[in-house]
Amino acid sequence: MKLNRISVRWQIFLGFVGFAGVLLVFLWLFQIVFLDSFYQTIKTENIKSCAAAIEQNIDSRGLSSLVDDVSTQNDVSIRILDLNINNLFQDLYSVQASPDSAIHRMDFQDLYQYYARAETQGGKLLETTTNQWNTEYFIRGQNGSIYGIAPPTDRTSNESLLYVSLVPREDGSHVMLMLHSPISPVNSTVETLRVQLLIITGILVVLTLVLSIVLSRTISKPIVKVTESAKGLARGQYDIPFEEEGYKEIQQLNDTLSYAAGELSKVENLRRELIANISHDLRTPLTMITGYGEIMRDIPGENTPENVQVIIDEATRLSNLVTDLLDLSKLQSGTQSLTLTEFNLTQSVRSILKRYAVLTSQDGYKVDFVCQGDVYVQADEIKISQVIYNLINNAINYVGDDKTVIVTQKTSPGKVRLEVTDHGKGIAPEDVPYIWDRYYKVDKTHKRAVIGTGLGLSIVKSVLEMHGADYGVESEEGVGSTFWFALNTLPGPPKGH
């Protein structure tokens, strides 16, 4: 067990806090640190696309309204200038979106300078400028006519984008397209954002702390509870309740652990019963053997064949018990495999029944066999015989007053069903699911009359399941029981029969 592992509660808490931290770092980075460059990039793209729209329509008739639209929609000031015959700039269109538009404050020299620079740069020029014009200037209308004087602005050092493009016209001449867009408000925006972010950060930190504490508690509490219960389970307390609360996974875990606890307690009970049964089953014949042996040694005339027979019977019983135990443990450990052969099942039943002849003639038992025709199956003959033996033995052990056991072979296309019926006391419905378990005995009082190791049906179940066969029991208390199993039949006798 690693002691340095941190608890789930801390993990959730730290995870949450970490997540909020990363979130905040990103928020600050994007909102404050990179905002400027983001904004500039967006503005640059914007001014370029405005220019492209105008360039494409430079010769169209609707240029005037296009320029107006572009200007108002994008908050850009636009000038389109032509060089006239006197080499003087003349406004073809001019729209001023803001009073501090740099392109509207340029004199001829400035304009010419930009024209020349744009020319050297392949016709396009983009630059970020800082407004330095703090003097009043002429407001020009379209065609360059002056129609007013603007007062000097106080935003003397604001950043702005200036885009110049030399656009060829259809007649071969060039016009100079100038666009100007202020980018300065970003500083004040950053200030607002910073204040907002500080508030958001505060709220987020508090929220994160509260939420992560609450969440980590709600998530870890049921886990801690389950762990405590599971510890109890490990100590052998199988009756510890696994509570039906918490979220889905915990409920599933609780269900699984409850199931495991149930199974473990069953195994535990079985183990106890096993020890009780085995010691009882071993002790009784051993006591008899010792008792009879001592009588025969000590009392003259007691050395009779009947007494010797008792000793032999008891020894046989012991050996049966041990054989059953071994069989079952081999079957259940999965080390035994089936030896499949094709054989006559009906014939097998007949020869098994022959061995009960002594029983029937001496004690008045009656074992009937009802069948129509022989059937052939592919199965492990020895193990299937063991199944039939066990079922008939049980039927005889629990036989009714009529002392009759009926073995019935029923056939349907491709199937054979073998039934062993008695008219004994039957099995209570609540016991039926358990009779196939190891050492399960309905009658736990170990009446000597009822002989059994408690292993018979377990062996039957293991063998039939290995064969993939269906099996079951129909039983009614006071009426009797019918144990059955079904196997696939072969179309006819195997070759060589």
285 is an interface residue for ligand ADP by CB under 6 A: no
81 is an interface residue for ligand ADP by CB under 6 A: no
HSE of 446 in the Cβ direction (CA atoms, 13 Å)?
14
338 is an interface residue for ligand ADP by CB under 6 A: no
Q: Tokens 């990179």: give the residue.
A: 34
C-alpha to C-alpha distance for 350 and 390, rounded to whole angstroms: 15
In the list 457, 463, 464, 487, the residue contacting ligand ADP (rule: CB under 6 A) is 457
In the list 115, 292, 376, 440, the residue contacting ligand ADP (rule: CB under 6 A) is 440
In the list 394, 404, 409, 462, the residue contacting ligand ADP (rule: CB under 6 A) is 394
| Residue nearer to ligand ADP on the CB measure, 222 or 454 | 454
The b/e string for 233-245 (b: 16+ C-beta within 10 A; e otherwise) is beeeebeeebeee
What is residue 463's three-state secondary structure?
helix
| Residue nearer to ligand ADP on the CB measure, 246 or 480 | 480
Pattern of binders to ligand ADP over 398-417, x per CB under 6 A? x-------------------
Residue 176, H or E segment: strand 174-182
Give me the residues paired with residue 327 across strands.
none
Give me the DSSP letters along 194-242.
Answer: HHHHHHHHHHHHHHHHHHHHHHHHHHHHHHHHHHHHHHHHHTT-TT---
CA distances for 302 relative to 294, 297, 381, 451, angstroms: 10, 8, 43, 26
Pattern of binders to ligand ADP over 175-204, x per CB under 6 A? ------------------------------
Q: Looking at this protein, which amino acid is placed at residue 416?
A: V
Which of 468, 487, 486, 481 shows the shortest CA–CA distance to 432? 481
Nearest residue (beta carbon) to ligand ADP: 452
Residue 444: CB minimum distance to ligand ADP, A: 9
Residue 389: CB minimum distance to ligand ADP, A: 11
| Residue nearer to ligand ADP on the CB measure, 12 or 435 | 435
435 is an interface residue for ligand ADP by CB under 6 A: yes
Q: Which two tokens stand for residue 439?
A: 């050492």
Residue 477: CB minimum distance to ligand ADP, A: 9
In the list 107, 243, 313, 443, the residue contacting ligand ADP (rule: CB under 6 A) is 443
- 8 Å CB contact between 189 and 32: no
Residue 425: CB minimum distance to ligand ADP, A: 6
| Residue nearer to ligand ADP on the CB measure, 183 or 395 | 395
Residue 315, H or E segment: helix 305-333
* Rounded-to-10 torsion of CA 193, 196, 199, 200: -80
In the list 12, 161, 377, 427, the residue contacting ligand ADP (rule: CB under 6 A) is 427
| Residue nearer to ligand ADP on the CB measure, 435 or 463 | 435
162 is an interface residue for ligand ADP by CB under 6 A: no
| Residue nearer to ligand ADP on the CB measure, 63 or 274 | 274
Q: Which two tokens stand for residue 414?
A: 């491709």
Q: Looking at this protein, which amino acid is placed at residue 438?
A: R
Total site size for ligand ADP, rule CB under 6 A: 20
Using CB under 6 A as the criterion, which residues of the chain lie in contact with ligand ADP when the complex forms?
A: 394-395, 397-398, 422, 424, 427, 435, 440-443, 452-458, 481
